[in-house]
């Protein structure tokens, strides 16, 4: 059941956090936090998302702040380092923020860059961390031919998997059939979290691994149900969350029956400042459990009155979508 809209508006805190490294084309992360009976919840859909999509993220925040989390099967979650599309000379500095991580996810297919840039970035990771597991994430930036060419070039550097190399499910299915003999698994992210049917990628035989995120999928319980029905190994990842959202992701990872891959929940290292903790990798993992927001940090990083008003209007519009669905 939905809490009253006034309860959400009264509990809403909007923050504006600087990033340590430019990521997804931005240098700051705006997020909204709410406190409910169970603790803090995060609502941080990306700014371009319309109410229909943002409402799913709101459902996740409400679940986390108003409902108990599912029982945890583990108390720490192994996480990967996330490397933005930086130049090779900057790789070591970024990786130094991730204590003990044995897996690195490298962003590729950045707009304005070339495959040679991607290969150089991945090669630098392999040079610095010869025993690391390396996965690449294209965020759907390649067509099928480009993706096949890129994977052929990158698989020589020993890839764990390629995440969302193409944008659509049919493209992923075709690419998977082409690269099967190379032994590079295909992971689906946007084709799960942004799809009206998150299981369509499974029905099409288009992925070997699912990347699941608590906020975009509407909360921990819905994400668990999707993984259970899909029958594929899952990687829990974040959407550049604050430590509040990362703790929700850790709750999802902790509740999965199996956790064969390191999770993308170390992205607190990409934030220069945070509102809690922060929840950072220590010896390659993060703890499971709720975090407590620091009231001083909350006030220090509070967004402007204009931005807060924008988020309040956004909350009302997204809440209306949920109320209509209820």
**Known binding positions:** 137, 163, 189
Q: Which of 272, 292, 310, 267 is nearest to 17 (CA)?
A: 272
Report the C-alpha gap between 267 and 61 in whole angstroms. Answer: 19
Q: Which of 213, 222, 297, 301 is catalytic?
A: 213
Report the C-alpha gap between 262 and 105 in whole angstroms. Answer: 10
213: annotated active-site residue: yes
Detail the residues annotated as belonging to a binding site for Mg(2+): 137, 163, 189
Whether 169 and 204 have beta carbons less than 8 Å apart is answered as: yes
DSSP string across 227-294: HHHH-S-EEEB-SS--HHHHHHHHHHHHHSS---S-BB--GGGGBSS-SBS----BTTEEE-S---B-
194: annotated active-site residue: no
Report the C-alpha gap between 246 and 242 in whole angstroms. Answer: 6
Q: Which of 29, 69, 97, 107 is catalytic?
A: 107
Q: Which of 203, 201, 135, 194 is nearest to 163 (CA)?
A: 135
What sign does the CA torsion over 57, 220, 85, 27 have? positive
Report the C-alpha gap between 158 and 132 in whole angstroms. Answer: 9
End-to-end CA gap in the chain:
8
Number of residues written out for the chain:
326
Whether 249 and 289 have beta carbons less than 8 Å apart is answered as: no
Q: How far is CA 7 from CA 10, 35, 156, 275, in A?
A: 5, 9, 54, 21
Q: Please, what is the Cα angle at 2 between 213 and 312, to 5 degrees?
A: 75
Whether 207 and 201 have beta carbons less than 8 Å apart is answered as: yes
Instruction: Catalogue the active-site residues.
Output: 107, 213
């Amino acid at each position: 059941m939905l809490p009253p809209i006034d309860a959400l508006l009264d509990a809403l805190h909007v923050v504006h956090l600087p990033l340590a490294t430019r990521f997804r084309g931005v240098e700051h992360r705006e997020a909204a936090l709410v406190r409910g009976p169970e603790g803090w919840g995060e609502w941080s859909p990306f700014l371009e998302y319309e109410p229909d999509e943002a409402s799913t993220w709101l459902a996740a925040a409400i679940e986390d702040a108003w409902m108990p989390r599912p029982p945890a099967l583990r108390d720490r979650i192994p996480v990967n380092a996330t490397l933005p599309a930086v130049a090779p000379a900057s790789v070591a500095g970024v990786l130094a923020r991730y204590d003990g991580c044995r897996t690195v996810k490298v962003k590729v297919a950045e707009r304005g860059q070339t495959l040679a840039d991607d290969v150089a970035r991945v090669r630098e990771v392999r040079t610095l961390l010869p025993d690391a597991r390396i996965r690449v994430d294209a965020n759907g930036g390649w067509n099928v031919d480009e993706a096949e060419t890129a994977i052929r070039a990158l698989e020589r550097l020993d890839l764990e998997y390629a995440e969302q190399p193409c944008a659509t499910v049919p493209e992923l299915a075709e690419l998977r059939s082409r690269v099967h003999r190379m032994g590079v698994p295909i992971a689906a992210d946007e084709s799960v979290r942004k799809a009206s049917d998150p299981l369509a990628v499974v029905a099409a035989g288009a992925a070997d691994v699912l990347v699941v995120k608590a906020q975009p999928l509407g909360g921990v319980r819905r994400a668990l149900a999707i993984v259970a029905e899909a029958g594929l190994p899952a990687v829990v990842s974040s959407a550049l969350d604050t430590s509040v959202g990362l703790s929700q992701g850790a709750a999802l990872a902790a509740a999965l029956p199996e956790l064969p891959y390191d999770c993308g929940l170390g992205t607190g290292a990409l934030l220069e400042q945070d509102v809690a903790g922060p929840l950072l990798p220590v010896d390659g993992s993060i703890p499971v459990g709720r975090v407590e927001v620091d009231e001083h940090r909350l006030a220090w990083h509070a967004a402007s009155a204009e931005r807060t008003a924008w988020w309040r209007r956004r909350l009302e519009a997204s809440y209306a979508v949920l109320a209509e669905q209820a």
